[in-house]
């Protein structure tokens, strides 16, 4: 599957937050054979070890997909994305505009606005969205070539709460890469997403909190 013209063999994207140690994180990246890892600019710049952490992730050979985690407005997300491009040297961005503090459900109005601005500025936008078909259409019109519908709230590990919605999304966007982002708690959840025709899954908490990458090891 190609994502913005880049072919990837692995269908697993892996987050880098909440791991018990950097060594466990590196073990998880190596064991999973992921080709894409997400990284928050806020994580990178929040402490003095940021540069060392960044260098460690570069050494894994995985492609960095910076994200705008923690942003609650389109303006904040755009600014964070622009900073991330300078820091990480990539025009790929996982776009998050959070609208609900408890569930971390995206603010789809701010998301579409930010996607339009960033796409016009040359970014390759990976938008964290819902399974709403109208929102998906608006994001494509804004310049996105990938959609990342949630499976369940971030960090919940609840699996796919609306498989019918994801199935409808696959049918409605047959040629658009779809990545289930958030809610994957078990390998079987990832398998279920693949069975629905999703092109990839992104997960973080399930691996990070387990402290053991073996269940997600690539064959």
The residues carrying an active-site annotation are 94
* Buried residues in 202-213 as b, exposed as e (16+ CB within 10 A): bbbbbbbebeeb
CA distance 180 to 41: 22
List all residues 6 or more positions away from 124 whose beta carbon is below 8 Å from its beta carbon.
Answer: 3, 4, 91, 92, 93, 145, 146
Antiparallel, parallel or unpaired: β 148-149 and 179-181: unpaired
Q: Determine the number of helices (DSSP H) and then strands (DSSP E) in the chain.
A: 9, 10
Antiparallel, parallel or unpaired: β 124-129 and 92-95: parallel
CA distance 26 to 102: 30
Find how far residue 96's CA is from the centre of its chain: 9
- Residue 76 parent element (H or E): helix 74-88
Total residue length of the chain: 219
């Amino acid at each position: 599957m190609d994502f913005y013209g880049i072919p990837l063999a692995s269908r697993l994207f892996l987050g880098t937050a909440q791991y018990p140690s950097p060594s466990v994180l590196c073990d998880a990246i190596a064991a999973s054979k992921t080709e894409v890892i997400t990284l928050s600019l806020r994580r990178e710049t929040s402490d003095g070890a940021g540069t060392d952490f960044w260098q460690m992730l570069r050494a894994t050979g995985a492609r960095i997909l910076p994200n705008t985690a923690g942003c609650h407005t389109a303006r904040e997300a755009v600014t964070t994305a622009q900073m991330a491009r300078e820091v990480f040297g990539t025009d790929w961005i996982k776009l998050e505009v959070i609208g609900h503090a408890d569930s971390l459900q995206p603010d789809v109005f701010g998301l579409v606005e930010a996607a339009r601005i960033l796409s016009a500025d040359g970014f390759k936008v990976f938008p964290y969205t819902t399974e709403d078909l109208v929102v998906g259409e608006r994001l494509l019109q804004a310049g996105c070539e990938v959609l990342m519908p949630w499976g369940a709230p971030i960090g919940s590990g609840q699996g796919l709460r609306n498989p019918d919605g994801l199935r409808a999304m696959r049918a409605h966007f047959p040629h658009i890469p779809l990545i289930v982002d958030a809610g994957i708690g078990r390998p079987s959840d990832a398998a279920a997403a693949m069975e629905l025709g999703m092109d990839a899954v992104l997960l973080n908490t399930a691996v990070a909190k387990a402290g053991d990458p073996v269940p997600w090891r690539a064959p």
